[in-house]
C-alpha cells in the first residue's frame, strides 16, 4: 500500500486502533493531521514542574483553559524495548541511561549538597557548649526543654556537660543524632532528671545496638517519663496528650503543677505511630478532651483493648467527627463497619463517610504517599533506572491476522508524558497508538495520545488514571501498590488468613484399586489403529500391536498435540468411544494457576510447592507475603509465569514489588517464590523432566518412566541483579533459544553424586512421592477428570533445592520428548539396562494400552 495521505485512508487502516484507544471521534481528524505533520505541540500548552523535593515531576496546564475533548496531543516514546533487552540497551545505547534517569528523577543523589553548602553548614555549626549556653540564657537559667541534636556528642562529652546541674528541672531532652554508645553512661546521665516527661535518643549507636536494654533501664529509673524515642511509654498521661495536641512544646514545656484543664481546648489530636497499646487512660476521656473533633490513631497496635470497648470509648466523644485509623486494624476489618459503629464520624481517613458507605469500600485512604525510588550514591545509573522504571512503564502487544506476539512491548513516554501523575478522578486520558504511515505493520511508529476528559483551567495539574478501566473486581486498590504506599497492615492480614486456610488442608493418600485398567489389545491378529499428528510417534511407534492411520475416524487411539474439544470432534468425526491422550479437565494440572490451586486445595502448602499466587485473584495475599518477608529480612525474589505458556515465554525473575504488579498488564500470571538456592551442577542451575503415564484417574493408576533427562543452564548461577536479565543463567530450556548442551542422564547422575556426596536413589524416592501427591490431588479435587477412554502422558518438571529436596515447577500436556527419542540412556533404577531412545514410544504405548510395565515403574 502507498503512503497514507488522506483522512479516509487513515481511518480505513487505523479504524480498530482508533476504537481501541477510546479517542472521541471528534478528535480523529485532528490526530491524523498531527501525525502527518509530526506535530508535538504539547510544550505550548503544558509545563513540567518538580515535586516531592525533586523526586517526582508533575504536569501543569499553562493555557488559559482547555475544554473537555477539545484537543489531542502526540507524546513520543523515549524508550521502547522488550524486557529481556532492558539492561543491555541501557548499557549500550549512548545517552539512554542518562535520559531515563532524568525522566525518572534518579539522576542525582538524595539530599545532595554542593561543596559550598557543606562549607556553609560547617561554619554555622556551633559547639555543644555554645548551644547549651545559649539555651540556658534564653530560658533565664530555668531550662525545661533542651535540644542537643546532631552535635557529635559522645559518651565522654555527655558526662562532661553535667546537664543535671545546669538544667535540673528538665521536662524534655533531645539528644538525637549524636554518637552515644555506652548504655551505662547514657542511663546514668539521663536518669538524673526525675521530672523528665520526654526523652529522645533516636539515631544514636546505643539505641541501634542495645535498644531493649537501654529502654528497660531508662524506664525503670524514670517513672514519670511519658514519651521515649517518640513512642508513648506505659506511663503516658496528660503531658503526652498535650504534646501531641499542640499544648506543650519548647515555648511551653509545662510544669510540675500543671492545671487540670490543660487539654480542654484541644480540637486536633495526632497520636499516630506512638506505639500505644491501651487507649484507656485518664487523660484520654471526653471529660478531658470535650472539644476533640479530629483524631489520628494510625500506626498503633492498641491490642490490649477489645474492639467493642474501643468503639464505645470513641462514641463517647461528643465533638469527634474526623478519624484516621489503620484499616484493617484495631477498630475492625472494614471501613463500612467502623462507620456503622461510629455514626458521628463524617470523615474517615480523609474520605467523606457518605462516599464510603455509598461505594461500600472496605479499605479507604484518600492521600496515599507515592512510592519513590530509592538508591545509594554509588549505585550506577543503569541500576537506578532498572529499579525505578516500573513506576513509569506502559505496555502493548503486537498482533496481526495470523498471530499475537509472545512477549509484550514496554515503553516509557517522553518527559511530558512521564510527568502525568495518577488520579482516581483524572482530567486527561492517555492511550498508546500505532501509526502505520504506509498501511502496514512494518511501517508502524508507536506514540501515545493525550486528550482532556474534563474542563481544565490554567495552573491545574494534569493527571491520568494509571489503572483506567480497572475496578475493584480486578483488584484496583491492591494494584495501586505499584505506585503508592498502600496500608501494609491490610495485606499482611489477608496473607495471614490465606496461610491459615492453607494449613487447614491435609489430604490423606489414596489407595490403589485392586482392579487394574484392562488392556485394549484383544487379539494377536488385529492391531490397534492410531491417529497422530506428532511426527515422532508416527515414525517411532513400530510395534506390531499398533498401526498408524491417517484418518481419525478409523482409529481406536487418538494421540494428538491439539486439544480435543466438541468442535474438533464434530470437524474430524472423533467419537466418545475412541481412546484419546487427554483427560477431561486436565487443565487443573497443566495450567499453572490451576495446578497451584489444585495442590493447595488438597495439600495446603506442601514443602515441594513454592509459595504460589494467582495474580488475578490473590494479589493482596502476595503483597502481604512480600511485606512479611521484607519485614523479617527474608529473600524476596519471585518468578512470574504466564498461566498457559511453555518454554519460559514471558517469564520474569524479579524482587521488585512494583514490577510484579505491573507485569500483570502483560497477561494473566502466577507469581511463585523463586528458588534462590537451588542445587547446582558444576555451578549451573538445572531442572529435570520426568515422564508420567496415566492409565486411569479412578482408580488412580499412574507410572513413572525410567527415562528422564536433565536440562542445564549455560551460564554459572548468580543472584546478581544484572544476571536476572540473562536467560542462559536463570532458565534451562535451551531447545528454542540459547545453545542446547545435552548431558547424558547416567553421566549426570554419577557426576552429581560425586560432586555433592549424595545417593541419587534417595532423591528419586522423594521425587516419586511428590509426583504421586500431585496426581492424588487432581484425583481428589477434580473427580470429573476420570474417563474410561482417556490415557495420557505428562511431563513433570522438577528442581532440587540446595538441600536436595524436590520442588515442583510445572506439569506439561503432551510434552516434547525429542531427547527421550534421540538419546539412549542407562537406566538409573532397576537392572541398569540401556533404554534405546527409538523404543520410547513403543514402551509408552505398551504401558498405556497393553498394560505392560517395561521401562516404567508404578507410583
Residues 444 and 470 in one domain: yes
**Cβ(746)–Cβ(792) below 8 Å:** no
In a domain, 729, yes or no: yes
pLDDT for 1: 55
| CB contact set of 584 (below 8 Å; sequence gap of 6+) | 784, 785, 786, 787, 790
Look over the chain and give the mean of its residue pLDDT values, rounded to a whole number. 91
pLDDT value for 120 = 41
Region of poorest pLDDT, from 83-97, 515-529, 689-703: 515-529
What pLDDT score does 717 carry? 92
Is residue 723 domain-shared with residue 850, that is, in the same domain?
yes
Question: Beta strand pairing status for 684-697 and 700-716?
Answer: antiparallel
pLDDT class of 524 with cuts at 50, 70, 90: low
Contact 278, 305 (CB under 8 A): yes
292 CB-near residues (< 8 Å, 6+ apart): 266, 267, 269, 286, 317, 319, 320
pTM, whole model, 2 decimals?
Answer: 0.81
Residues with Cβ within 8 Å of residue 612, at least 6 apart in sequence: 596, 600, 670, 671, 672, 673
Phi, psi of 681 (to 5 degrees): -115, 110
Do the beta carbons of residue 678 and residue 800 sit within 8 Å? yes
Q: Which pLDDT belongs to residue 163?
A: 92
Residue ending a domain, choose from 413, 441, 475: 475
**Does 682 lie in the same domain as 797?**
yes
Residue 622 in any domain: the answer is no
- Look-up of cell digits 513433570: 796
Q: Which residue has the higher pLDDT, 404 or 788?
A: 788
Q: Are residues 689 and 834 in the same domain?
A: yes
638 occurs within a structural domain: no
**Together in a domain, 290 and 363:** yes
The answer to the question of residue 481 being in a domain is: no
Contact between 294 and 269 (Cβ < 8 Å): yes
Where is pLDDT greater, at 53 or 384? 384
Q: pLDDT tens across 676-695, in order?
A: 999 999 999 999 999 999 99
Question: Which CATH number covers residue 23?
Answer: 2.170.270.10
Domain count, the chain: 4
Structural domain span for residue 135: 129-235
3-state secondary structure of 362: coil
CATH no. for residue 733? 3.30.470.20
Q: What share of the chain in percent tops pLDDT 90?
A: 77
Contact 430, 29 (CB under 8 A): no
The DSSP letter of residue 399 is B
Q: Which residues on neighbouring strands pair with residue 559, listed in sequence order?
A: 532
Q: At 494, is the pLDDT very low, low, confident or very high (cuts 50, 70, 90)?
A: very high
DSSP 679: -
pLDDT tens-digit readout, 439-470 = 888 899 999 999 999 999 999 999 999 999 99
Q: Does 96 score more than 80 pLDDT?
A: yes
Task: Give yes or no for residue 429 having a pLDDT over 50.
Answer: yes
Mean pLDDT of 367-381: 88
State the Cα–Cα distance between residues 754 and 767, nearest whole angstrom: 20
Q: What is the pLDDT of residue 736?
A: 56
Domain boundary (445, 475, 505) is at 475
Q: Which residues of 500-521 are buried (b: 16+ CB within 10 A; e: fewer)?
A: eebeeeebeebeeeeeeeeebb
* Residue 514 pLDDT: 46
Q: Are residues 713 and 804 in the same domain?
A: yes
108-117, long-range: CB within 8 Å, 24+ apart, which pairs?
108/54, 109/377, 110/55, 110/374, 110/375
Which of 204, 235, 266 represents a domain boundary (last residue)? 235
Concatenating the DSSP letter of every residue in 817-843 gives -HHHHH--EE-SSTT-PEEPGGGHHHH
Query: What's the rounded mean pLDDT across residues 193-210?
Result: 94
φ, ψ of residue 89 to 5 degrees: the values are -65, -40
Residue 512 pLDDT grade (very low, low, confident, very high; cuts 50, 70, 90): very low
CATH code of residue 170: 3.80.10.10
- Written as one string, the DSSP assignment of 229-297 is TTEE-TT--HHHHHHHTTS-SSS----SS--TTTTTT--EEE-TTS--S----TTSSTTT-TT--EEE-
Q: Is residue 500 part of a domain?
A: no
Pick left, alpha or beta for residue 362 (phi over 0 → left; psi -120 to 50 → alpha; otherwise beta). alpha
Q: For residues 203 and 271, state if they share a domain.
A: no
Same domain, 134 and 107: no
pLDDT at position 555? 94
Q: Mean of the pLDDT values across residues 104-114?
A: 70
| pLDDT band of 732, cuts 50, 70, 90 | confident
Q: Are residues 222 and 300 in the same domain?
A: no
Does residue 854 belong to any structural domain of this protein? yes
Residue 742's SS3 state is coil
Note whether 774 and 825 are same-domain residues. yes
Burial of 286 (0-12, 13-18, 19+ CB in 10 A): middle
Q: What is the mean pLDDT of residues 130-140?
A: 87
Residue 517 has pLDDT above 90, yes or no: no
Q: Write the pLDDT tens digit of every residue in 612-671.
A: 999 999 999 999 999 999 999 999 999 999 998 766 678 899 999 999 999 999 999 999
Q: Say if residues 584 and 792 touch (Cβ distance below 8 Å).
A: no
Start-to-end CA span in the chain (Å):
61
Asked, for residue 629, whether it belongs to a domain, the answer is no
* Whole-number pLDDT of residue 33: 96
Residues 262 and 203 placed together within one structural domain of the fold: no
Distance CA 194, CA 224 (A): 7
Write out 66-90 in H/E/C secondary structure.
ECCCCCCEEECEEEEECHHHHHHHH
Tally of CB atoms within 10 A around 740: 13
Cα 493 to Cα 28: distance, rounded to the nearest angstrom = 48
Of the pLDDT bands very low, low, confident and very high (cuts 50, 70, 90), residue 407 is confident
The separation between CA 14 and the C-alpha centre of its own chain, rounded to angstroms, equals 36
For the cut 50, the answer to whether the pLDDT of residue 20 exceeds it is: yes
The answer to which of 102-111, 167-176, 488-497 has the lowest mean pLDDT is 102-111
Q: H/E/C letters for each residue in 523-581?
A: CCCCCEEEEECCHHHHHHCCCCCEEECCCHHHCCEEECCCCCCHHHHHHHCCCCCCEEC
- Residue range 753-774: average pLDDT? 97
Q: Do 182 and 71 fall within a single domain?
A: no
Asked if residue 508 has pLDDT above 80, the reply is no
Contact 500, 494 (CB under 8 A): no
Indicate whether 602 belongs to any domain.
no
Q: What is the pLDDT of residue 139?
A: 83
Amino acid at each position: 500500500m502507498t503512503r497514507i495521505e488522506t483522512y479516509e485512508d487513515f481511518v480505513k487502516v487505523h479504524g480498530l486502533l482508533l476504537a481501541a484507544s477510546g479517542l472521541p471521534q471528534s478528535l480523529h481528524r485532528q490526530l491524523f493531521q498531527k501525525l502527518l505533520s509530526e506535530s508535538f505541540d504539547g510544550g505550548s500548552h503544558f509545563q513540567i514542574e518538580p515535586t516531592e523535593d525533586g523526586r517526582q515531576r508533575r504536569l501543569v496546564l499553562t493555557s488559559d483553559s482547555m475544554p473537555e475533548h477539545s484537543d489531542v496531543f502526540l507524546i513520543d516514546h523515549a524508550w521502547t524495548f522488550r524486557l529481556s533487552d532492558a539492561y543491555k540497551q541501557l548499557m549500550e545505547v549512548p545517552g539512554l541511561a542518562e535520559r531515563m534517569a532524568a525522566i525518572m528523577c534518579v539522576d542525582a543523589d538524595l539530599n545532595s549538597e554542593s561543596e559550598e553548602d557543606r562549607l556553609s553548614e560547617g561554619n554555622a555549626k556551633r559547639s555543644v557548649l555554645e548551644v547549651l549556653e545559649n539555651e540556658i540564657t534564653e530560658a533565664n537559667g530555668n531550662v525545661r526543654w533542651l535540644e542537643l541534636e546532631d552535635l557529635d556528642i559522645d559518651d565522654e562529652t555527655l558526662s562532661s556537660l553535667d546537664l543535671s546541674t545546669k538544667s535540673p528541672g528538665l521536662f524534655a531532652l533531645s539528644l538525637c543524632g549524636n554518637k552515644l554508645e555506652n548504655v551505662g553512661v547514657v542511663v546514668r546521665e539521663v536518669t538524673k532528671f526525675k521530672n523528665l516527661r520526654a526523652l529522645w535518643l533516636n539515631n544514636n549507636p546505643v539505641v541501634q545496638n542495645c535498644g531493649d536494654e537501654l529502654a528497660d533501664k531508662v524506664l525503670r529509673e524514670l517513672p514519670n517519663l511519658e514519651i521515649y524515642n517518640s513512642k508513648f511509654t506505659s506511663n503516658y498521661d496528660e503531658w503526652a496528650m498535650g504534646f501531641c495536641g499542640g499544648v506543650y512544646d519548647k515555648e511551653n514545656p509545662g510544669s510540675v503543677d500543671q492545671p487540670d484543664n490543660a487539654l480542654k481546648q484541644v480540637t486536633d489530636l495526632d497520636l499516630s505511630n506512638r506505639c500505644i497499646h491501651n487507649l484507656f487512660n485518664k487523660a484520654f476521656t471526653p471529660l478531658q478532651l470535650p472539644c476533640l473533633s479530629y483524631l489520628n490513631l494510625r500506626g498503633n497496635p492498641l491490642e490490649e483493648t477489645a474492639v467493642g470497648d474501643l468503639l464505645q470509648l470513641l462514641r463517647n466523644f461528643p465533638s469527634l467527627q474526623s478519624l484516621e485509623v489503620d484499616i484493617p486494624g484495631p477498630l475492625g476489618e472494614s471501613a463500612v463497619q467502623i462507620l456503622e459503629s461510629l455514626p458521628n464520624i463524617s470523615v474517615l481517613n480523609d474520605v467523606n463517610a457518605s462516599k464510603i458507605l455509598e461505594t461500600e469500600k472496605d479499605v479507604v485512604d484518600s492521600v496515599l504517599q507515592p512510592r519513590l525510588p530509592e538508591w545509594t550514591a554509588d549505585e550506577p545509573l543503569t541500576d537506578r533506572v532498572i529499579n525505578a522504571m516500573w513506576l513509569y512503564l506502559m505496555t502493548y502487544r503486537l498482533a496481526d491476522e495470523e498471530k499475537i506476539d509472545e512477549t509484550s512491548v514496554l515503553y516509557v513516554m517522553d518527559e511530558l508524558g512521564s510527568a502525568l501523575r495518577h488520579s482516581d478522578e483524572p482530567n486527561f486520558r492517555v492511550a498508546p497508538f500505532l501509526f502505520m504511515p504506509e498501511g502496514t505493520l512494518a511501517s508502524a511508529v508507536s506514540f501515545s495520545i493525550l486528550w482532556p476528559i474534563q474542563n481544565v483551567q490554567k495552573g491545574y495539574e494534569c493527571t491520568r488514571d494509571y489503572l483506567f478501566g480497572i475496578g475493584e473486581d480486578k483488584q484496583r486498590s491492591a494494584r495501586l501498590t505499584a505506585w503508592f504506599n498502600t496500608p501494609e497492615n491490610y495485606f499482611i492480614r489477608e496473607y495471614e488468613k490465606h496461610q491459615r486456610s492453607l494449613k487447614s488442608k491435609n489430604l490423606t493418600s489414596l489407595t490403589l484399586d485392586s482392579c487394574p485398567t484392562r488392556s485394549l489389545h484383544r487379539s494377536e491378529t488385529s492391531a490397534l489403529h492410531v491417529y497422530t499428528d506428532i511426527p515422532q510417534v508416527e515414525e517411532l511407534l513400530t510395534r506390531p500391536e499398533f498401526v498408524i492411520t491417517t484418518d481419525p475416524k478409523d482409529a481406536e487411539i487418538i494421540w494428538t498435540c491439539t486439544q480435543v474439544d466438541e468442535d474438533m470432534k464434530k470437524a474430524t468425526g472423533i467419537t466418545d468411544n475412541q481412546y484419546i491422550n487427554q483427560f477431561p479437565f486436565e487443565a487443573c494440572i497443566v495450567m499453572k494457576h490451576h495446578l497451584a490451586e489444585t495442590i493447595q486445595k488438597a495439600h495446603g502448602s506442601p514443602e515441594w510447592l513454592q509459595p504460589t499466587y494467582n495474580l488475578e485473584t490473590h494479589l493482596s495475599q502476595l503483597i502481604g507475603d512480600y511485606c512479611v518477608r521484607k519485614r523479617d529480612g527474608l529473600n524476596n525474589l519471585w518468578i512470574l509465569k504466564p498461566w498457559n505458556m511453555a518454554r519460559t515465554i514471558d517469564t520474569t525473575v524479579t524482587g521488585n514489588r512494583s514490577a510484579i504488579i505491573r507485569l500483570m498488564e502483560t497477561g494473566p500470571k502466577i507469581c511463585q517464590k523463586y528458588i534462590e538456592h537451588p542445587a547446582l551442577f558444576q555451578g549451573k542451575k538445572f531442572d529435570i523432566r520426568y515422564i508420567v503415564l496415566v492409565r486411569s484417574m479412578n482408580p488412580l493408576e499412574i507410572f513413572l518412566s525410567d527415562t528422564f533427562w536433565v536440562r542445564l543452564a549455560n551460564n554459572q548461577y548468580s543472584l546478581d541483579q544484572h544476571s536476572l536479565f540473562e536467560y542462559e543463567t536463570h532458565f534451562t530450556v535451551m531447545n528454542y533459544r540459547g545453545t542446547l548442551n545435552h548431558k547424558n542422564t547416567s553421566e549426570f547422575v554419577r557426576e552429581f553424586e560425586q560432586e555433592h556426596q549424595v545417593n541419587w536413589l534417595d532423591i528419586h524416592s522423594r521425587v516419586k512421592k511428590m509426583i504421586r501427591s500431585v496426581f492424588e490431588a487432581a484425583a481428589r479435587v477434580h473427580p470429573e477428570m476420570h474417563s474410561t477412554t482417556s490415557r495420557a502422558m505428562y511431563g513433570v518438571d522438577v528442581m532440587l533445592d540446595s538441600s536436595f529436596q524436590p520442588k515442583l515447577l510445572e506439569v506439561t500436556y503432551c510434552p516434547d520428548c525429542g531427547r527421550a527419542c534421540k538419546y539412549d540412556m542407562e537406566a538409573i533404577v532397576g537392572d541398569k539396562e540401556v533404554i534405546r531412545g527409538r523404543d520410547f514410544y513403543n514402551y509408552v504405548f505398551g504401558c498405556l494400552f497393553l498394560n505392560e510395565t517395561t521401562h516404567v515403574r508404578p507410583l
